[in-house]
Amino acid sequence: MIYTLHELQHAANAPLKFWAETSQHLFTNPFSPLAYLPHSSRVAAGSELMARVVRRYEKPAFGLDHTVIDGQTVAVHEEVVASKPFCNLLRFRRETNANHPKVLLVAPLSGHYATLLRDTVFALLPDHDVHVTDWHDARLVPLAEGYFHFADYVATMQDFIRLLAPDVHVISVCQPTVPVLAAVSLMAAAGDPARPRSMTLMGGPIDTRCAPTEVNRYAKTRSLRWFDTHVITRVPLKYPGYMRRVYPGFLQHAGFVAMNSDRHLQAHVDFYNHLVEGDGDSAGTHRKFYDEYNAVMDLPAEYYLETLDMVFMKHQLPKGDMVVSGQRVKPSAIRNTALMTIEGELDDISGPGQTEAAHGLCSNIPAKRKEHFLVPGVGHYGIFSGRRWREAIYPRVREFIRRAA
């Protein structure tokens, strides 16, 4: 019912969106006499702000068509090298003969699209052959394709690692640190020759008992049944995934906005003022960020609930209780894969210590093949995007991969 009401709200907002966009054009177009009226900039700014508030944000494009290698501009092409019902594996193929390490960048399946890692990919491209998990919006996956459980996530990671083997390096950001560590642990225990050379875990919930955040605490305030009853719904008729049980992206987005409501409100006030003042650069930065941040996708309900139960409620991985497809996950089985963990000092999603916990679990990786980096003054998004990522964090990741190779 809640999904249907959400769609009805969007339909009801359509006239308001049309009016706001029309008003914005009328008060900014140099051929319109309204653009020269007193306070026209304020009317136009308010109209654009209103249009952005009520619009639906679709999946953005990566938009990475070139990179620079050894001082030369090189064309980049997106290619789908593997396709599964719930995920494509994208390769950013560079027109170069350079023999750089292969990287599997595992994007979160947590409400935002893989394009959230655009800046991560951009920094990696000059020195690596980059592949990215491009998760599908669950509402677009027909029910006939079956379900997607936590074990399916782990199996998908193993399939992609084997496809890119040998000599692949895995980087996982936020939520996938747990299934990636599980996948590599199972491969190591089985003596799989395709196991990766290195894995870099960034800002993920390996052990949420360490420095629990508001997100972690909230997950334990309700029972799993409560979450199933209150946040899981079925996809409405208009989508290919009709009747699939999902955790809607709009609910998760609302939760994240509510966590920092004052900050988001001030950002929109500032956006309005930038438009009025003619500060196009600052307004453009706002648009770029929120075009990405507001574009959300639905998650398969079974995967969401299992992750909530296994990772955030029962802490199965750090306790040694995690079983995937009938096999117990033992990170201590990993011996030959180098491990790097990265955390932000100000991370309010995965607190400091949660990702570092992987070092204690991976007890048989030699100390010289382990590295931890706690980035001072950086929050969750800052560890994989922005200036600090490009200038302080990425150089260390690049050197770690080179040593592991």
**Tens digits of per-residue pLDDT, 185-215?**
999 999 999 999 999 999 999 999 999 998 8
What is the predicted pLDDT for the residue at 405? Answer: 85
The predicted-structure confidence for 257-277, as pLDDT tens digits, reads as follows 887 889 999 999 999 999 999
Find out whether 210 and 302 touch, Cβ atoms under 8 Å. Answer: no
Which pLDDT score is estimated for 218? 85
Q: For the chain, how are helix, strand and coil distributed in percent, rounded to 5?
A: 50, 20, 35
Element (H, E) at 87: strand 87-94
DSSP per-residue codes, 330-354: -GGG--SSEEEEEEETT-SSS-TTT
Which tens digit of pLDDT belongs to each residue from 305-338?
999 999 999 999 999 999 999 999 999 999 999 9
DSSP 389: I
Domain spanning 67-219+299-404: CATH superfamily: Alpha/Beta hydrolase fold, catalytic domain (3.40.50.1820)
Residue 373: per-residue pLDDT? 98
pLDDT tens per residue, range 47-74: 999 999 999 999 999 999 999 999 999 9
What pLDDT score was predicted for residue 307? 97
User: Residue 267: helix, strand or coil by DSSP?
Assistant: helix
Rounded distance between C-alpha atoms, residue 130 and residue 235, angstroms:
33
CA-to-CA separations, 123 to 94, 198, 338, 386, in angstroms, rounded: 14, 18, 21, 10
Taking alpha carbons only, the member of 355, 364, 325, 369 closest to residue 169 is: 369
Asked whether the beta carbons of 364 and 331 are under 8 A apart, the reply is no
- DSSP 3-state assignment of 164? helix
User: 220 falls in which pLDDT band (50, 70, 90)?
Assistant: confident
Cβ 17 vs Cβ 51: under 8 Å: yes
The one-letter code for the residue type at 64 is L
- Helices (DSSP H) in 165-212: which residue ranges? 177-189
pLDDT score, position 256: 81
Over residues 115-125, the mean pLDDT reads 97
Predicted confidence (pLDDT) per residue in 130-168, tens digit: 999 999 999 999 999 999 999 999 999 999 999 999 999
pLDDT class of 342 with cuts at 50, 70, 90: very high
Contact indicator for 69, 126 with CB cutoff of 8 Å: yes
Q: 1 pLDDT exceeds 80?
A: no
pLDDT band for 219, please (50, 70, 90 cuts).
Answer: confident
pLDDT at 122: 97
pTM, two decimal places: 0.93
The pLDDT of 281-299, averaged and rounded, is 94
Tens digit of pLDDT for each residue in 222-261?
Answer: 999 999 999 999 999 999 999 999 999 999 888 888 878 8
DSSP string, 23-44: HHHHTT-TTSGGGGSTTHHHHH
Sequential DSSP letters for 280-327: HHHHHHHHHHHHHHT-B--EEHHHHHHHIIIIIIS-HHHHT--EETTE
pLDDT at res. 10: 86
Render pLDDT for 362-383 as a digit per residue (tens, 0 to 9): 999 999 999 999 999 999 999 9
What CA–CA distance (Å, rounded) separates 195 from 162?
7
In the predicted model, what is the mean pLDDT of residues 31-36? 90
For residue 229, CA distances in Å to 224, 226, 306 come to: 9, 5, 14
What's the pLDDT at 383? Answer: 97
Position with higher pLDDT, 196 vs 38: 196
Closest to 73 measured CA to CA, from 45, 49, 96? 96
% of the chain residues with pLDDT over 70: 100
Q: Which residues contact 88 (CB under 8 A, 6 or more apart)?
A: 80, 82, 133, 134, 136
Burial of 325 (0-12, 13-18, 19+ CB in 10 A): exposed
* Mean pLDDT, rounded, of the chain: 95
